[in-house]
Amino acid sequence: MASLGVAVIGTGFMGKCHAMAWSHVRAVFGGETDIRLEVLCDTNEGMTKQRAGEAGFTRAETDWRRLLDDPRIDIVSITTPNNLHREMAIAFLGTGKHVWCEKPMALTLEDAEAMAAAAEMSEAKTLLGYNYIRNPAITHARKLIQEGALGRIIHFRGQVDEDYQADENVPWSWRSRLETGGLGVLGDLTCHLVSFAHFLVGDVTEICADIDTVHKFRPVPGSNEKRAVENEDIAHAMVRFESGATGLLMASRAAHGRKNMIRIEVHGTKGMIAFDQERMNELQLYVADEPAAERGFKTILTGALHPPYGAFTPAPGHQLGFNELKVIECKHFLDCIENDIEAYVNFAEGLKIEKIIHGIAASAASRRWLDVR
């Protein structure tokens, strides 16, 4: 039996999500390759040992560099803060280990370019954590688009809102600094909109954008000091696709009441689809050539007829969630490794997303349209 050893770096929200995906992928999808949970790595030794035991890893480590030459490790999940992605990814690719890295790809565009170059030089596979596009509803939407159900695609509209920076009293943190957090809402949220846009419509080639920092200073924990927020809370962009279609991207991390609101619309000459991440098991479809008296939006409730929903549960209405999307993404990565094919979104495709989100910041600064190819 083939065997692949896995290391996960990071024990936070996404680290746990990756650990769950690796432990569940064979139980959900089957397969002959043995998945070995070899190492969980983080800087806090006691916590890492505890969580390694809870998740079923063979051992815990506090220095990721000890994993580089470990022959028992074939795949590394990087779920660390953004400023560590470049060094880790390039180092592991250099030793031939496959890399699954969380988004955003990197702190800067230069970092992302270096990572993509390292991936091109390596025989190892790469994947970025854009798991929202793994939703069976989105897969079905892509199928409808490719089959021509909407006619010629003319417009994409995407909105993503959360409220984790809406309160002006939220403390200043690493998220507020370009050196540690990089871009603000662009790196956290807008990149997801771009992944949807590319998956459903195709590559974005031109942008014209505006950004804003709503709360320009935040309180420093444990003091009376306030420090400047160095990145953006809100970003809006008009875009043009390679196909000629147009689009709008809107994002805010300061939207009171929004938790994970991602609203997607794809408009065609014969109809449109709409999707809301907060109702992630539903897809809205409007077909314009139906009889006028019966014309209207149809709700498609995902189920076993929308792969790979049925691998989790055979019954529509029982719902998939965020963590299940990560398991689907994990299965995709395993398939690519086993069959020696490129994953999506790999580092090369991820660089396209990075060019767009950094291009939005540049467009806002220059107040003009920019080519982001």
- pLDDT tens digits for 248-307? 999 999 999 999 999 999 999 999 999 999 999 999 999 999 899 989 999 999 999 999
pLDDT at residue 327 in the model = 98
pLDDT at residue 180 in the model = 85
Ramachandran region of residue 271, left (φ > 0), alpha (ψ -120 to 50) or beta?
left
pLDDT at residue 47 in the model = 97
Last residue of a domain, one of 81, 110, 131: 131
For residues 67 and 163, state if they share a domain. no
Q: 117: domain CATH number? A: 3.40.50.720
pLDDT confidence of 35, banded at 50, 70, 90? Answer: very high
Q: Is the separation of the CB atoms in 126 and 332 below 8 Å?
A: no
Length of the chain: 373
The packing angle between helices 13-29 and 322-339, to 10°, is: 60
Return mean pLDDT, the chain: 97
Can you tell me the mean pLDDT for 27-52? Answer: 97
For residues 223 and 365, state if they share a domain. yes
Q: What is the DSSP letter of 73?
A: -
For residues 118 and 160, state if they share a domain. no
| Number of other CB atoms surrounding residue 317 within 10 Å | 9
Pull the structure tokens for residue 292. 């006028």
Last residue of a domain, one of 97, 131, 165: 131
Q: Is the separation of the CB atoms in 270 and 150 below 8 Å?
A: yes
Instruction: Write down the H helix ranges in 125-278.
Output: 136-146, 185, 191-200
Q: How far apart are CA 133 and CA 344, in angstroms?
A: 10
For residues 126 and 143, state if they share a domain. no
Can you tell me the mean pLDDT for 205-209? Answer: 98
Q: What is the DSSP letter of 135?
A: -
- pLDDT tens digits for 87-141? 999 999 999 999 999 999 999 999 999 999 999 999 999 999 999 999 999 999 9
Any domain includes 329: no
pLDDT at residue 48 in the model = 98
Instruction: Write down the H helix ranges in 10-150.
Output: 13-29, 45-55, 85-94, 109-121, 136-146
- pLDDT tens digits for 55-78? 999 999 999 999 999 999 999 999
pLDDT at 84 over 80: yes
For residues 172 and 293, state if they share a domain. yes
Tally the domains of the chain: 2
pLDDT at residue 1 in the model = 63
| Number of other CB atoms surrounding residue 185 within 10 Å | 28
For residues 188 and 285, state if they share a domain. yes
Domain interval for residue 225 = 134-316+347-371
For residues 55 and 119, state if they share a domain. yes
Residue 202's φ and ψ, nearest 5 degrees, are: 125, -175
The angle formed by the CA atoms of residues 219, 222 and 223, to the nearest 5 degrees, is 60
What is the DSSP pairing of strand 34-41 with strand 59-61?
parallel
The pTM (predicted TM-score) of the whole model is 0.96
Any domain includes 284: yes
What is the separation of C-alpha 13 from the centre of its chain, rounded to a whole number of angstroms? 14
What is the separation of C-alpha 358 from the centre of its chain, rounded to a whole number of angstroms? 16
For residues 229 and 160, state if they share a domain. yes
For residues 57 and 183, state if they share a domain. no
What percent of the chain shows pLDDT beyond 70?
Answer: 100
For residues 289 and 304, state if they share a domain. yes
Can you tell me the mean pLDDT for 160-174? Answer: 95
Any domain includes 327: no
> Which position has the higher pLDDT, 181 or 1?
181
pLDDT at 174 over 90: no
pLDDT at residue 181 in the model = 86
